[in-house]
Amino acid sequence: MKVFDENKRNLTMLMDFYELTMANGYFVKGCGNTQVVFDMFYRENPENGGFVVCAGLEQLVEYIQEMHFTQADIDYLRGRAMFDEGFLEYLKNFAFKGTIEAVAEGTIVYPGTPLVTVTAPLIDAQLVETMLLLTINHQSLIATKANRICRAAGKAAIMEFGARRAQGADAAVYGARAAYIGGAGATATTLADEMFGVKAVGTMAHSWVQFFDSEYEAFKAYAEVYPDSCTLLIDTYDILDSGVVNAIRVAKEVLEPMGKRLKGVRIDSGDLAYFSKRLRRILDSAGLTDCSIVVSNSVDEYLINSLNRQGAEIDSYGVGERLITSKSDPVFGGVYKLAAVQQPDGSFSPRIKISENPEKITNPGRKELWRIYDPHTGYGTADLITLAGEAVEDNVPFEFVDPQKPWKQMKFEKFHAEKLHKTIFKDGELVYQLPKLEEIREYVQYQLANTVWEEEQRFENPHLHYVDLSRKLYALKEDLLKKAH
């Protein structure tokens, strides 16, 4: 029996109100304990990219473990005068009783594939919808954006600097976590370091420089306090005629007599390509070849690509609002759809959602997700969605359907197959060992280096990763579509 910390923030009621009205209706109609299957998936990669970095699973696990309705919650719902008293009594002792399967956090994923599958009593499956979508959608979006920025930056380091532009405290903290998964090396958000071990970094603001009587005095004071990690912000007044001149002076007059070196200079404004090249020449001429050039100021992968083409001399980037909000494509459209309902005989009856938009038609039934690898290169050639229980064995020919070209006769022959879903909860009990954050980050890097084609990593017109259906699943989908019409 889990013991709840009453002083800890309770997010159980962070759900769409319709989840409660539906749950109450299911309870009243006597079907609340019927086992159902829901799939969480998304339809399009952000920024027309080639893939998504899936993130947020750990926070979903925490939510599921801590779900409980307090007396205050029950009193609030009773005050709405629309919920059955028996349902309110049921919520007093509520604990999630279902099974959750999901791809491991940090997995490279593709549109249409089930990232999370919930098999649970109908009420349980309905009540977790909002938080499931919230955690996976948000962190997957930010992890993917961070990864794009890091890939554009190449050898240059990326630091996440976005807290003050994030949409709220949670977006700042969990965004920093997601950015680290995606490849950012550090954050400016101290709480993210305390909570998750994402290294917090920071030096000074313009106010530090403005406070002192002169820029030189400001730099000198900072160097005296932090001689081992001295990075100076040099664009408060004039980058070339004042900032870098005073930085070099402090390096020579304050740091070097102490046996220390100036770690870096930072600029937060101006023509970043022009100034970085000028600064590199000036610093090198002063013997400060090891002094890093750090830039910020509304940076993202598009600007970084432009700076690279211009030959900018930048060692690290502080990336703020364009990362923490994924400004250029700020919505990740994950959805949560019913796929199957258990019948009295124990079998599961498939369910399908039909739409005038073909991409919104769902894949019915209980399913499994596989990644198909080329056994010679190790790269993933496709994802395969099958009905639950279908056997997919290495190098055993397997017929499938390309949904974009269903008339073609297709089959995998020489391949290695990996089932991507891990069982996270089994009948309400956590059975999965959550990996450490560093392990998740390393998993992302491993996949991109060893299993994801370079063509899928292009920013423009990336190669389309195939998501195929087994013949049995495709036939079931076609049959349900025919019956519906």
**Three-point CA angle 43, 47, 50, nearest 5°:** 70
| 283 and 338 housed in the same domain | no
Question: Residue 370 is part of a domain; what is its CATH number?
Answer: 3.20.140.10
Q: What is the pLDDT of residue 6?
A: 56
The string of pLDDT tens digits covering residues 119-141 is 999 999 999 999 999 999 999 99
**CB distance 296 to 235 below 8 Å:** no
Q: What is the pLDDT of residue 452?
A: 98
| 300 and 342 housed in the same domain | no
**Three-point CA angle 222, 224, 225, nearest 5°:** 65
What does the alpha-carbon distance between residue 128 and residue 20 come to, in Å, rounded to a whole number? Answer: 11
Domain count, the chain: 2
- Among 277, 296, 318, the domain-final residue is 318
Q: What is the pLDDT of residue 484?
A: 84
The string of pLDDT tens digits covering residues 264-307 is 999 999 999 999 999 999 999 999 999 999 999 889 999 999 99
Indicate whether 10 belongs to any domain.
no
Angle, to 10 degrees, between the axis of helix 129-153 and the axis of helix 437-450? Answer: 60
| 446 and 395 housed in the same domain | yes
| 410 and 461 housed in the same domain | yes
* Residue type present at position 237: Y
**Domain span at 408:** 17-142+330-484
What does the alpha-carbon distance between residue 293 and residue 280 come to, in Å, rounded to a whole number? Answer: 8
Residuewise pLDDT in 10s, the chain (485 residues):
344 455 678 999 999 999 999 999 999 999 999 999 999 999 999 999 999 999 999 999 999 999 999 999 999 999 999 999 999 999 999 999 999 999 999 999 999 999 999 999 999 999 999 999 999 999 999 999 999 999 999 999 999 999 999 999 999 999 999 999 999 999 999 999 999 999 999 999 999 999 999 999 999 999 999 999 999 999 999 999 999 999 999 999 999 999 999 999 999 999 999 999 999 999 999 999 999 999 998 899 999 999 999 999 999 999 999 999 999 999 999 999 999 999 999 999 999 999 888 889 999 999 999 999 999 999 999 999 999 999 999 999 999 999 999 999 999 999 999 999 999 999 999 999 999 999 999 999 999 999 999 999 999 999 999 999 999 999 999 999 999 87
Indicate whether 164 belongs to any domain.
no
| 209 and 302 housed in the same domain | yes
- Among 254, 288, 318, the domain-final residue is 318
**CB distance 369 to 103 below 8 Å:** yes
What does the alpha-carbon distance between residue 323 and residue 311 come to, in Å, rounded to a whole number? Answer: 23
| 341 and 445 housed in the same domain | yes
The pTM of the full predicted model, rounded to 2 decimals, is 0.96
Indicate whether 101 belongs to any domain.
yes
- CA distances in angstroms from 139 to 28, 126, 192, 330, 331, listed in the order given: 36, 21, 14, 12, 11
| 392 and 355 housed in the same domain | yes
3-state secondary structure of 163: helix
| 374 and 462 housed in the same domain | yes
What does the alpha-carbon distance between residue 246 and residue 369 come to, in Å, rounded to a whole number? Answer: 59
Question: Residue 248 is part of a domain; what is its CATH number?
Answer: 3.20.20.70
Helical segments of 1-70, H only: 17-28, 57-66
| 228 and 288 housed in the same domain | yes
Helical segments of 2-106, H only: 17-28, 57-66, 71-79, 85-92
- CA distances in angstroms from 234 to 115, 138, 201, 276, listed in the order given: 46, 35, 18, 12
Q: What is the pLDDT of residue 1?
A: 39
What does the alpha-carbon distance between residue 218 and residue 120 come to, in Å, rounded to a whole number? Answer: 61
| 314 and 336 housed in the same domain | no
* Residue type present at position 351: R
| 368 and 303 housed in the same domain | no
Please give the torsion angle defined by the CA atoms of residues 370, 376, 378 and 384, in that order, rounded to the nearest 10 degrees.
Answer: -20
